[in-house]
Amino acid sequence: MNAKNLSRLGVYAVLGIAAFFFLAPLYVMLATSFKDAEQIRSGNLLSLPNGLNFESWTLAWSTACTGVDCRGLKPYFMNSVLMAVPAVLISTAWGALNGYVLSMWKFKGSDVLFGFILFGVFMPFQVVLLPMSQVLGFMGLSSSIAGLVLVHCLAGMASTTLFFRNYYTAIPRELVNAARMDGAGFWRIFYRIVIPMSTPILMVTLIWQFTNIWNDFLFGVAFSGADSKPITVGLNNMANTTSSVKSYNVDMAAAIIAGLPTMLVYVLAGQYFVKGLTAGAVKG
């Protein structure tokens, strides 16, 4: 075996270990979710389930109890959908518009403004919890899904603006000038010329925002009411509900259900994610 093959083998070994490291928990979760209580108690953590038993999945989805409420994860899942979909769309559109203005329609102080917006990317969200809850109270949006949508739009705006602004900076100015001479205005240039060129960064931002908003626990636990808890909070409460026997299989199924949408988004749009992250200057 020569040196080249040896180094190739080393690379595969490292990759294999990394893959095992990240896939092992997923395997344990999947395997456990298909086992019944008896098998969990008696068996090994890594052993294969006896069969595909979907009972704990249906339990987790529709009948598992959180305290005295036994409706499963379904209502929380719906809350998360109602929260994440508008929040992702609004924050992405908002970031695209901000980025468009900050890169192609620069005005006096626009770079300073962009600098301030950047603060939002690095700001720990814990510091805004109290003022934000007051603002929501003033607006009458406390403990509502609409309030959570607003919070996520505000929290995500900084990073979506950053994404779009940096992407649009690479688009030649001449393109905008050409459109201006052709008679297109601010909005027309935005949706006829700029948006059609934005597919990669649009995908990156959508995935990024969806992952962040769907997985958010902090805002969910702080600003939601009894009927507006997102799935992360619902999962936590369900897993922490104490009963005589800990049903690991139901908890595992519930955790996978909670994580499925983000995985789905990656599978559907993941190819654009890498493209978007590596996209350089836009060639005409």
Partner 1 sequence: MAASLHIAGIRKVFGKGDKAVEILKKIEIDVAPGEFLILVGPSGCGKSTLLNIIAGLEEPTEGELKIAGKNVIGMAPAQRDIAMVFQSYALYPTMSVADNIGFALEMRKVPLEVRQKRIKEVAAMLQIEHLLDRRPAQLSGGQRQRVAMGRALARDPQLFLFDEPLSNLDAKLRVEMRAEIKRLHQISGITTVYVTHDQIEAMTLGSRIAVMKDGILQQIGTPDEIYRAPANTYVAGFIGSPTMNFITGQASGTRATGQFFFEGGALQLPCPAQGAVTLGQRPEHIHLSDDAAWRGEVTLVEPTGADTYVVVKTGVGLVTVRTPPSTVVKVGDQVGMTVSAHHNNWFDAQTGLRLG
- Structural contact between residues 40 and 50, judged by C-beta atoms closer than 8 angstroms: no
Collect contacts of 130-138 with beta carbons under 8 A, ≥24 apart.
Answer: 132/223, 133/222, 133/223, 136/223
31-51 b/e (C-beta count within 10 Å ≥ 16 → b): bbbbbeeebbeeeeeeeebee
Confirm or reject binding of residue 106 to partner 1 (CB under 8 A): no
| Contact range with partner 1 by CB under 8 A, out of 90-98, 106-114, 188-196, 264-272 | 188-196
- Rounded to the nearest whole angstrom, what is the least distance from the CB of residue 161 to partner 1 in the complex? 23
- Rounded to the nearest whole angstrom, what is the least distance from the CB of residue 277 to partner 1 in the complex? 20
Confirm or reject binding of residue 140 to partner 1 (CB under 8 A): no
Going by C-alpha positions, the residue among 100, 86, 55, 4 that lies closest to residue 247 is 55
Nearer to partner 1, 41 or 192 (CB): 192
Confirm or reject binding of residue 283 to partner 1 (CB under 8 A): yes
Tell me the sheet residues that pair with 265. none
Confirm or reject binding of residue 175 to partner 1 (CB under 8 A): yes
Confirm or reject binding of residue 184 to partner 1 (CB under 8 A): yes
- Structural contact between residues 210 and 88, judged by C-beta atoms closer than 8 angstroms: yes
Confirm or reject binding of residue 109 to partner 1 (CB under 8 A): no
- Structural contact between residues 148 and 154, judged by C-beta atoms closer than 8 angstroms: no
Confirm or reject binding of residue 280 to partner 1 (CB under 8 A): no
Tell me how far apart the alpha carbons of residues 50 and 219 are, in angstroms, rounded to a whole number.
40
Confirm or reject binding of residue 113 to partner 1 (CB under 8 A): no
Nearer to partner 1, 154 or 282 (CB): 282
Confirm or reject binding of residue 1 to partner 1 (CB under 8 A): no
Contacting positions for partner 1 (CB under 8 A)? 172, 174-175, 177-184, 188, 192-193, 196-197, 282-284
